[in-house]
Amino acid sequence: MQTLVSVRSWQSIICVITLLIVLADLWGCAQSKNAPTKAPEQMDASGRILPLKPQPSATAIRPGLSVLYFYNFNYRDAAKIPTGQKAIEKGRPGKPIPFLNHSFGPRNVFDSKSSRKIAMLMTGMIKLPHPGQYRFMAISNDGIQVFLDKRRIISDPDVHSDRPSQKAEVNIADGDWLAPGWYPLTVKYYQRKGTATIKLFWQRPNDADFAIIPAEAYAHMVPPDKSN
């Protein structure tokens, strides 16, 4: 009889713990839906944004952006995605991302094999082929940040449904360091759960409107040969 009571007591405790976990998850979802989300930050990158110098040769680059995936990412904020050596230590490399014009529904994000609490650090280059004023904008679900030559031009990093970011203006002068060509590009992206979207647009000088940045505008450097 005592053993039976003990078993029932443990079963009761387990049921209570399970109920508390479910209630906590429901509370978190309600808070996420009801809490006001921050408006995307207005960015102005009209200052010095420098191209790569020297410019890479055609044989030194490959199409698309390099990517590192971070699993079970619990920060709910793309700004928390690590960079540099910490990113290399914690991230898992994936196939290069050819371009950014994707809506995944509840499916896996790119080749991460995950659709929940997945973060990405994409690095490489973008080719700005003409001098003049460029404008950039993103649509994301959830958070995104975009950096051009380490200068943040788009920031909408928190958890939210599909929405456009604020627009950034970038002036590319002709001559000296500021010139058309390949520029360093970093994109941070975070997907919490459910549907996922990441799209990056530009409006080049003399373009009438925004358009998705095409695959040929993205590249990354050839990884060093470690066999030597």
HEC-encoded secondary structure of 87-106: HHHHCEECCCECCCEEEEEC
Rounded CA-CA distance 130/205 in Å is 7
Rounded CA-CA distance 121/78 in Å is 9
Q: What is the pLDDT of residue 223?
A: 76
Write the CA distances from 17 to 6, 14, 31, 74, integer angstroms. 17, 5, 21, 22
Tokens 């952006």 correspond to 65
Q: What is the pLDDT of residue 7?
A: 43
Q: What is the pLDDT of residue 194?
A: 92
Q: What is the pLDDT of residue 10?
A: 54
Q: What is the pLDDT of residue 34?
A: 37
Write the CA distances from 224 to 60, 68, 220, integer angstroms. 10, 17, 12
Rounded CA-CA distance 94/72 in Å is 16
Q: What is the pLDDT of residue 33?
A: 40
Tokens 């203006």 correspond to 169
Which positions of the chain have pLDDT values less than 70?
1-48, 174-178, 224-228
